[in-house]
Structure 1
Amino acid sequence: MIRNYIKIAWRNLLRNKVYALINILGLSLGLACAMLILLYVKDEVSFDRFHENGDNIYRVVAQAKHDGQLATNVNTGFLQGPRFAENVSGITSFVRVQGATEDMKNGNEIYSQSALRVDSTFLSVFSFPVIEGNAKTALSEPHSIVVTEDFAQKQFGKKEALGQLVMIRQDSALVPYKVTAVTKNAPQNSTIRYEVLLPFRESKEDAQNNENWYSSFLNTFVVLNPNADKSHVEAQMKVFYQKDARETFQSLLKKYGGSSEMGTYILQPFADIHMNTEMPAQNGLVNASNPMYSYILSGIALFVLLIACINFVNLTVARSVKRAREIGIRKVVGSNRKQLIFQFLGESFLLCFIAFSLAFLIAQLVLPVFNELSNKALALSYLADTKLIIGYILLFLVTGLLAGFYPALILSGYKPVEVLYSRFQISGKNYLQKSLVVLQFALASFLIIATITIYRQFDFLINTDLGYNDSNIIMVDNFSISEEKARLFKTEVLKNPEIIDVAPTNVGHSWTGARLENGNDMSFNYVTIDESYIPEMEIPIVQGRNFSEEHPSDATTAILVNEAFVKEAKWDNPIGQTVNFFYNDDEIYRVVGVVKNYHFLSLNQEIGPQLFTMKPGNDFDSFYIKIKPNSAGVSLEHIRQTFQQIFPLSPFSYNFKDEENRRSYEAEEKWKQILLFGAVLTIFISCIGLFGLSVLSAEKRTKEIGIRKVLGASVKNIVTILSTDFIKLVMISLVIAIPIAWYVSNKWLENYPYRVNVNWEMFVIAIGLVVLIALFTISFQAIRAAIQNPVKSLKTE
């Protein structure tokens, strides 16, 4: 019997190739989309779950109120780990993790390598498998180094890595570090990813200085006893901290001012870090994510799959008229309703099986593109998980039932007398199918409007005037560049006629505070520059003047500020106002100029107060080099040679400023592409559903169309009659989608301090697109029905 069902189902698919292809394509696209997004979500929720003791690992996070607002700081300093571990019961061990960049030597080449500075307990706390060496002692010596398989391959080739020396720059010399262990590469679903581990550096003075309670430049992790109560441990931490640090806190508050409370420390579960937007992965930790991405992608997958199942229902019912006689004959010769239901469910499951097979193929082909969009390195092999396999089996069964059960009930319920005497008509107004089409196009319309919003915001971000000219500027990075070295480098580089100007700076990287004349304290971005920076970047000066060599005292007494600084300081006449760096023996500077606000950070952040100085003791960390247009090749070679002569132990690296600015909006660009694909896929599958419904309508009204043509109706009249009902459905979907899209778009744009407005043009474009796509889909079947010979439809009457 089952063999017979399968044979009939297969023959029916071959007899209706076009409809079978549309059904399979719709389902396979929906399933492929669901598979890819399931891979993404699985990877997101699996982050950091591989550590054997992961449930007991917590990050120490500071909490305090500033001006009445509760603020958290995930970065800590030297003291939190060792002092809590020693004085709080329930904490068994700790490890500090600090992100670092080290200059290393490989052969004759000096290159920059990201690394982590960690305590010796690192490999005991975290479960990174050690291939060679001893995990407990690998980081106990100050000049030891632990590397991964990949790093060992790059650095040593086929040589055994254990015991080899790696030359690392410290100050102005290269110091040998001995490889004491080799670990497997960190998994991709790890918040801690590294190629190099180095021992954490801490002096005796650092460990004893109580002011280091308030340094924050690393992550501190503690391991709790499995029987310890987290809230009880946090209570102990608060008591000890406020006892141990109170005197220091009051001393610093008196010295620097402010209205902060002493606060406390809390414990953040390690597995919570990856998708926590308030306490994210940073400062050596990577792969910070937003759970909203998983919610959005899961929603897209759910709706695409639902729409694919809806299309199956619509198309199967639409074709039921063609099978009415077959069903009637089967009932006459003895088939009961149960058998017919099994037959049609069998056809549904056969289609689903083919669609599942095709979906795996589509997912495999699209996976590289999806990985690029999602910044992942996913593989379909990740689906070989017991829970996921069970999930896919359930998905297959649910999809087959959803897609086949309703049509099976409808088709198996036909009365043989009516269908065999050609008196059969599909009754009812098909409210279910119409409602589903409205749902499909409402979702498609919503995604189109969302995509247009993201496109416009992205274009706004990359095309908005930043307040300076970022074209033809090369940024060369280096750390701790003294004024003397900066002057020498600038002089040598400017010997090339293709180079217009050189400006050393540390723009955007440093924040500090100072006291105004009225006694108020304020914080600001603190920038060290020379007299070339403002003119090179073409930043307008709105009041006063720039730094100048004609005023030698500018280096020690003068500052520039931006308009945001003036606004926050509430100065009516900023020129001549003073700023007191009271914690540096009352260093007082006078404002000589005000620069126009410019976006020294990305447009994702509001322009804040900024202060410029030429203080001689401050180091620079980069050079902004302006070159002539179309001279990048020649200029870069000269810059590289000069850099290597003056900084022989530093790796040469550069970026173009305009390219770096564009990279600031990579997340927006990727979401623009993801939503575009989602909108296109949803529209495509929705059109399949609309096509199915138009087929159903045309076949229900075959006789009506024939009579209208005999009575003189034109093809245009008939197409209009057949299309009107569907356009009404599409318009209803737009009425539903537009207010929701307007609300969601505005909410999303609130995340940006500089943004486009949601205006009527966006909705006009969306309405036009949806209506045109729907008309194109409907008109194909409507025109086909309208041009048929009426004799064929009326000759049996």
Structure 2
Amino acid sequence: MINNYIKTALRNLLRNKIYSVINILGLSIGLACGMLIILYVKDEVSYDRFHDQLPNIYRISSIQYDPNGGQENYNPYSGYLQGPRFAAQVPGIKAFVRVQSDMWDVKKGVDIKVWEVHQVDSAFFSVFSFPLLSGNPATALLAPDAVVISEEVAQEQFGSTDVLGKVMMMKARDEAFKPFTITGVAKKTPQNSSVKFKILLPIRPSAQEEANNDNWFSFFLNTFVLLEPGADQAVVERRMGEVYTANSADALASHEKQYGALGKTVYQLQPMADMHLSTRYRADNGLKDASNPVYSYILSGIALFILLIACINFVNLTIARSLKRAKEIGIRKVVGGDRQQLIAQFMGESFLLSTAAFLAALVLVQLVLPVFNELSNKALAISYLFDLRLVSGYLLLYVLTGFLVGFYPSLVLSGYNPVKVLYNRFTLSGKNYLQKGLVVLQFTLASLLIIGTITIYSQFRYLTTRQLGYDDSDLVVLKHNRIPYERTMPLEAALMQSKAIADVTFKNQGDWGTTARVNGEKQMNFKYETVNEKYLPLLKVSLVKGRNFSKAFPSDSTRAVLVNEAFVKEAGWKEPLGQQVNFWYNEGEVYTVVGVVKDYHFNAVTQKIGAQLFTMKHRNQYGKTFIKIKPGMETAALHHIAGVFKKYFPLSPYEYKFLNEENRRNYEAEEKWKQIILFSAVLTIFISCIGLFGLSVLSAEKRTKEIGIRKVLGASVSGVVTILSADFLKLVLISLVVAIPVAWMAGNKWLENYPYRVSLSWWMFGGAALGVVVIALITVSFYAVRAAVADPVKSLRID
């Protein structure tokens, strides 16, 4: 009997090739999407799980409360003191590891390359499970001149991993090259690790720094602690708070007397297992790949949408196609087949088709995995497929899909009345509400994704075309060792010797932030920029009041500052010129506002413009050079810049960036999501349309004689096409009525994440609705036209 079922199933699949292809294609795409998302989610939740002692590894974090009752700050960082002080005085803490990231210059012969370097404590390899290819993990980081490198660095620097005892010449910025002896070679870090290192150096705070209690208020690195097995996290946290209170009391009182109230700090322990997906304490500042669980939710939802639509296609087409199998079912019942046997047969056919779709999906996953990795910023490998849990997930997906697409149709088909079907008196009962509802659900989901795509595209275009408030075209930025004001003048003169360079200016390196008092006692935090008098004119940043810095006013370098409009607004000034900004913690450092700079986006447009202050203080140093290149002369300019850079910074690697390209990189996340949603919308509408196409074919076949009679009575081709298409278009219109308000609410919620955003407009919904209707009309009309132009004589011929 089983062989008979298999033969019958194969015969039906081969005889009805168009429906087999539609079902297998739709299901395989849906299953492939499900597999890819399972891969993605599995990778997300597997971060850092390879550490043997993971259940006992925590990161020191803290909640810092605003003394004025404002919003609390969740701080994932610590400083030099927290690790050693807590480990020494808190029972239950077995070891600690501080992790600090920086960029160092590394020599290879005469060439210099910048590498990311992680400075860590000697317990690094005893806390974390990073295996060494060579070297002793217990002693590799004990010597102050020791260095542990990854196998990639060993191969690049020496062409071999057999490098123990060899020397690497390295230096931090603004320091001289020093020799470091290689004491260990580590395997490449797993791609699902938050700590990804290439070069490890011992962290070496001075004895003075580790004794200075003021460093309790300095937060710039990550500190991990290993708890004793069985230690109570809550008890350890409480004891950490007691140690902090006792150790910092004098320093806190002195600090508050000098700088004002700091607010309460409460220390916590963040489990390392929660770090990758945490939205409160992010894994950055030397840690990699911090993510957000919402990405997994969105991608899982999209995959579920697509798989659900594919299943809906199967159910609809199987039920609609059942009329052509009615006599087969009737004969099976007459010769003694019971309903359970028929259900088993049709479920078997469903699983046979699901198996074909599952195998096709595996092939699709292998083909599209490189593209998916590019879109999701992952490095997923096909080897993940052989993970026991993942294989179990795929098998569960296969079984559920086979069951879902086969259960309801098998119930419907097995319930046919044999007398009616054998006398051609059988029709599908009712108004097919379920079938119509499934079509509406399909196109509702497709419409949601299309509107989402339009919304994301509009926001992305807005972000990348919004006026920044300054001119970033033809502007090259160099980062270099910090230099005093006096050295900028000969450097500028050397750069200006090329006719390809229009102008040069300088700025501090990195993002500086500080605090000062305005209006007597009001304390403000702001961005602190050190520039010269040419900075604002070169970037074409305009002033709304007052004047720019000028060499005609020598006191500008000691007594004058510029502020932006956001600073003025936060300070509450009606007339900003002449107001004073008091850096009270530096004796006698009081500045007068001489100009107000128009707000411009000094950070990405995804961030709100904050308060900003400019100084020309000569005691501050410059670490960035901005060079304006004349249009069309890039090659000559870059050649000249490279020569000047090597002359002035011979021990530093030459790196340059065009500012407009750097600004574009700020929106890579939006670009990725734009592509993901676009592909999802295309797949969804494609699967929906092939299902709609199959249903329209069946509808036309079922109404063949009706069409013939209408043509004989004078109906036009367009009239027949309209009749065949109208029912389906009604369902599509209903789906739009459902989708549009849901998409409006979801779109507004998503846009709330951006301080500068587009407004949802009628054309977004109108364009999406028109697109869905046109695509559906083309799909339905394709076969309807063929049926309408067919010879009515053949249509009315008695079978």
Normalised by the size of structure 2, how large is the TM-score?
Answer: 0.97
CA distance in 2, matches of 1:104, 1:390: 46
Partner of 2:19: 19
1:214 Cα shift?
0.5
Aligned residue type for 2:195: I
Describe the superposition over 1:227-247 as per-residue Cα deviations: whole angstroms up to 9, x where unpaired: 111111111111221122122
Partner of 1:590: 592
Partner of 1:250: 253
Tell me, yes or no, if the aligned pair for 2:478 and 2:656 is still in contact at 8 Å.
Answer: yes
Tell me, yes or no, if the aligned pair for 2:476 and 2:657 is still in contact at 8 Å.
Answer: yes
Partner of 1:8: 8
Partner of 1:35: 35
Note if 1:296 corresponds to 2:284. no
Partner of 1:466: 468
2:65 alignment partner, SS class: strand
| Number of aligned residue pairs | 796
Partner of 1:60: 60
Tell me, yes or no, if the aligned pair for 2:456 and 2:674 is still in contact at 8 Å.
Answer: yes
CA distance in 1, matches of 2:577, 2:619: 24
Tell me, yes or no, if the aligned pair for 2:477 and 2:659 is still in contact at 8 Å.
Answer: yes
1:792 Cα shift?
4.3
CA distance in 1, matches of 2:573, 2:414: 83
1:40 Cα shift?
0.7
1:693 alignment partner, SS class: helix
CA distance in 1, matches of 2:64, 2:539: 39
CA distance in 2, matches of 1:441, 1:159: 57
Aligned residue type for 2:596: V
Tell me, yes or no, if the aligned pair for 1:508 and 1:601 is still in contact at 8 Å.
Answer: no
Q: Select the residue among 698, 718, 726 that pairs with 2:700.
A: 698
1:455 Cα shift?
0.3
Q: 1:714 to 1:776 in 2, by over 3 A?
A: same
Normalised by the size of structure 1, how large is the TM-score?
Answer: 0.97
Tell me, yes or no, if the aligned pair for 1:117 and 1:199 is still in contact at 8 Å.
Answer: yes
Tell me, yes or no, if the aligned pair for 1:318 and 1:695 is still in contact at 8 Å.
Answer: no
Note if 1:427 corresponds to 2:426. no
Tell me, yes or no, if the aligned pair for 2:533 and 2:551 is still in contact at 8 Å.
Answer: yes
Q: Select the residue among 93, 98, 103 that pairs with 1:96.
A: 98
CA distance in 2, matches of 1:131, 1:518: 61
CA distance in 2, matches of 1:632, 1:180: 44
Q: Select the residue among 63, 72, 75 that pairs with 1:73.
A: 75
Tell me, yes or no, if the aligned pair for 1:172 and 1:649 is still in contact at 8 Å.
Answer: no
Partner of 2:51: 51
Tell me, yes or no, if the aligned pair for 2:479 and 2:509 is still in contact at 8 Å.
Answer: no
Tell me, yes or no, if the aligned pair for 1:321 and 1:699 is still in contact at 8 Å.
Answer: no
CA distance in 2, matches of 1:87, 1:441: 63
Partner of 2:343: 341
Describe the superposition over 1:414-444 as per-residue Cα deviations: whole angstroms up to 9, x where unpaired: 2333223222222221111111111111111
Range with bigger deviation, 702-711 or 716-725: 702-711
Q: What is the 5 A alignment of 1:154-233?
A: 154-158=156-160, 160-170=162-172, 171-233=174-236
Partner of 1:756: 758
1:329 Cα shift?
3.3
Describe the superposition over 1:721-753 as per-residue Cα deviations: whole angstroms up to 9, x where unpaired: 222222221111111111111111111111111
Partner of 1:547: 549
Partner of 2:610: 608
Aligned residue type for 1:250: A
1:701 Cα shift?
3.5
CA distance in 2, matches of 1:242, 1:436: 63
Range with bigger deviation, 656-665 or 773-782: 773-782
Q: 1:127 to 1:413 in 2, by over 3 A?
A: same
Partner of 1:124: 126
Q: Select the residue among 500, 508, 511 that pairs with 1:509.
A: 511
Aligned residue type for 1:376: K
Q: Select the residue among 543, 559, 562 that pairs with 1:560.
A: 562
Aligned residue type for 2:59: R
CA distance in 2, matches of 1:192, 1:509: 24
CA distance in 2, matches of 1:511, 1:753: 21
1:413 Cα shift?
2.6
Tell me, yes or no, if the aligned pair for 2:161 and 2:185 is still in contact at 8 Å.
Answer: no
Q: 1:347 to 1:161 in 2, by over 3 A?
A: same
1:173 alignment partner, SS class: coil
1:619 Cα shift?
1.4
Describe the superposition over 1:57-84 as per-residue Cα deviations: whole angstroms up to 9, x where unpaired: 1111121211322211111111100111
Describe the superposition over 1:283-313 as per-residue Cα deviations: whole angstroms up to 9, x where unpaired: 1111011111000000011111111111111
Tell me, yes or no, if the aligned pair for 2:39 and 2:390 is still in contact at 8 Å.
Answer: no
CA distance in 2, matches of 1:159, 1:148: 9
Q: 1:443 to 1:160 in 2, by over 3 A?
A: same
Aligned residue type for 1:267: L
Q: Select the residue among 672, 678, 687 that pairs with 2:674.
A: 672
Describe the superposition over 1:432-468 as per-residue Cα deviations: whole angstroms up to 9, x where unpaired: 1111111111111111111111100000001011000
Q: What is the 5 A alignment of 1:375-390?
A: 375-390=377-392
Describe the superposition over 1:549-583 as per-residue Cα deviations: whole angstroms up to 9, x where unpaired: 22222111111111111111122222222111111
2:112 alignment partner, SS class: strand
1:24 alignment partner, SS class: helix
Aligned residue type for 2:582: N
Aligned residue type for 2:728: F
CA distance in 2, matches of 1:240, 1:586: 36
1:791 Cα shift?
4.1
Aligned residue type for 2:563: V
CA distance in 2, matches of 1:709, 1:340: 40
Q: What is the 5 A alignment of 1:388-537?
A: 388-506=390-508, 509-537=511-539
1:507 Cα shift?
6.7
RMSD across aligned positions (CA): 1.6
Q: Select the residue among 318, 322, 325 that pairs with 1:323.
A: 325
Q: 1:712 to 1:159 in 2, by over 3 A?
A: closer
1:785 Cα shift?
3.1
Aligned residue type for 2:8: I
CA distance in 2, matches of 1:575, 1:396: 71
Tell me, yes or no, if the aligned pair for 1:27 and 1:308 is still in contact at 8 Å.
Answer: yes
Tell me, yes or no, if the aligned pair for 1:60 and 1:221 is still in contact at 8 Å.
Answer: yes
1:205 alignment partner, SS class: helix
